[in-house]
Structure 1
Amino acid sequence: MEINNNFETISSLNQQIAVKKAELSSIDKKEDEKSLFEKNDSVNIVGKNYDEEDYKRVLDKYKELDAEVKTHEQAHAAGAPTTAPINYSYQVGPDGNLYANGGSVRFDTSIPENEAAASVKLDQLQDAASAPGELSFADSQIARTASLNKLLLQGIEEGANYGNQ
């Protein structure tokens, strides 16, 4: 299940951090040149508190998204049989660490020949796809397909029972 993320906001925040880092680099360069000529080794960074708040705010967004993505995908994986481990896509945060920004779970969608087992498995697939609070397009598509397959299975059962009467 791919999670639709607001990459524009994160990208915008990354651009703002890059601008701030460039400004700090420029200030550092001027201070270094000044210290060489004036023998003054102190560096005074203007606006340091503002930059730290931005950095913390951006880092918190990365951590929050990482937790949301992992919780979302684990909720899917806990509800039905899967064919592979959870697959996460990652992005490097401003601190250099990797943070999950998307993920997917591959469900075992094979349908058993036993009608009772097939019905149970379709219920599991539907529940697992609908497990997280916010459903992605893929989540809702899988839940809908499982529901339709269950209706078809019930229709086949009813048709078989009707024909045997």
Structure 2
Amino acid sequence: MELNSYGQSPSTIYQQLAQKRTELANIDKKEIEKSEADNYDKTNPSNEKFDEQDYQRVLNKFKTLDNEVKIHEETHASSANTTAPIQYNYQMGPDGKLYANGGSVRFDTSIPEDEASANVKLEELKDASSAVDELSNADAQIARTANLNKLLLQRQGESYEN
């Protein structure tokens, strides 16, 4: 670029200066980006190992929870009559697959009119809801309700006998 050239107009010279400033700014931007990337690599030397270990740890948690939830709900379902299939809540794992993170079983809670059958059914509901190692709040509530209903049924039977 020749500034003393009489053949160039001032607007052309300003355009050339603006273009040179833009080129210099892009060079500066690239140098800053490279410097930041180098600094990041220095402070995080094992990025790939950490990411793979973290990925596997999270994936294993998803798989473990999925297995625990399915065993938990299947244990409930196998211990009493149900009115619907097991329903699971799913969450997408880091590998893009769906994993169960919760679930529910709908027990048949109808009470037979026969007192002996009602007692058997309430005991079955109580056992089915508390059959797992770790009771959820819903499990504990079903067990308490079945136990309370059984006590009420026994109390009614006693009052009819007197």
TM-score by length of 2: 0.71
Letter in 2 for 1:103: G
Residue equivalent to 2:68 = 68
Residue equivalent to 2:77 = 77
Tell me the secondary structure at the aligned position of residue 108 of structure 1. coil
Query: How far, CA to CA, are the matches of 1:161 and 1:110 in structure 2?
Result: 25
Letter in 1 for 2:124: Q
* 1:154 aligns to 2:125 (yes or no): no
Letter in 2 for 1:145: T
Tell me the secondary structure at the aligned position of residue 100 of structure 1. strand
Number of residues of Structure 1 aligned to a counterpart in Structure 2: 120
Residue equivalent to 2:141 = 141
Give 1:98 deviation, angstroms. Answer: 0.6
Tell me the secondary structure at the aligned position of residue 101 of structure 2. strand
Tell me the secondary structure at the aligned position of residue 116 of structure 2. helix
Letter in 2 for 1:111: I
Query: How far, CA to CA, are the matches of 1:75 and 1:154 in structure 2?
Result: 28
Query: How far, CA to CA, are the matches of 1:151 and 1:76 in structure 2?
Result: 22
Give 1:49 deviation, angstroms. Answer: 1.5
Residue equivalent to 1:112 = 112
Query: How far, CA to CA, are the matches of 1:106 and 1:159 in structure 2?
Result: 32
Query: How far, CA to CA, are the matches of 1:49 and 1:66 in structure 2?
Result: 26
Residue equivalent to 1:102 = 102
Query: How far, CA to CA, are the matches of 1:139 and 1:111 in structure 2?
Result: 18
Identity, in percent, stands at 66
Tell me the secondary structure at the aligned position of residue 91 of structure 2. strand
Query: How far, CA to CA, are the matches of 1:62 and 1:70 in structure 2?
Result: 12
Give 1:46 deviation, angstroms. Answer: 5.6
TM-score by length of 1: 0.69
Query: How far, CA to CA, are the matches of 1:57 and 1:80 in structure 2?
Result: 36
Give 1:134 deviation, angstroms. Answer: 0.9
**1:11-26 to 2 correspondence within 5 Å?**
none
Query: How far, CA to CA, are the matches of 2:67 and 2:145 in structure 1?
Result: 28
Give 1:75 deviation, angstroms. Answer: 1.0
Unaligned runs of 5+ in 2: 1-29, 31-44
Give 1:47 deviation, angstroms. Answer: 2.0
Unaligned runs of 5+ in 1: 1-29, 31-44
Which of the pair has the greater relative contact order for Cα pairs under 8 Å at 6+ separation? 1
Query: How far, CA to CA, are the matches of 2:46 and 2:142 in structure 1?
Result: 53
